Amino acid sequence: QVQLVESGGGSVQAGGSLRLSCSASGYTYSVNNCLGWFRQAPEKEREAVAAFETGTGSTYYADSVKGRFTISEDGAKNTIYLQMNALKREDTAIYYCAAGSCPSWVGYDNHFDGWGQGTLVTASS
């Protein structure tokens, strides 16, 4: 069973930066499987943010975060990171780390092997 533990959320001024970490245990790197992030803001639906395909190293970003967020991984530590720069108020949400099929990040599947507990990110002006 995959277990995901997140860290790194917090509060910053708009324009600031934060880095989230997600440590995965019980996870096997493979093609077409991703580790990544979703977020959910108050009274809004969950949305995909970014994903890292563990078999190939390919990445995916939602249009709303392209150019500002960067997903990376440390295979030796089974950990992924989300570097968030130029944060905007609309980035405020609970961010969840997830493990699942890569098409699940773009709405073509809904298969997940595990979820993190969530970490709150707040960007205020």
Number of residues written out for the chain: 125
Tokens 């990040």, residue located: 105
Q: What pLDDT, on a 0 to 100 scale, did the predictor assign at position 124?
A: 96
- Which residue in 35, 16, 11, 33 sits closest to 25, CA to CA? 35
Query: H/E/C letters for each residue in the chain?
Result: CCEEEEECCEEEECCCCEEEEEEEECCCCCCCEEEEEEEECCCCCCEEEEEEECCCCCEEECCCCCCCEEEEEECCCCEEEEEECCCCHHHCEEEEEEEEEHHHHHCCCCCEEEECCCEEEEEEC
What integer is the mean pLDDT of 7-24?
97
pLDDT of amino acid 64: 97
- pLDDT, tens only, 84-120: 999 999 999 999 999 999 999 999 999 999 999 999 9
Q: Are 123 and 87 in contact (CB under 8 A)?
A: yes
- Cα–Cα distances in Å, from 125 out to 17, 45, 92? 13, 23, 11
* Higher per-residue confidence, 125 vs 10: 10
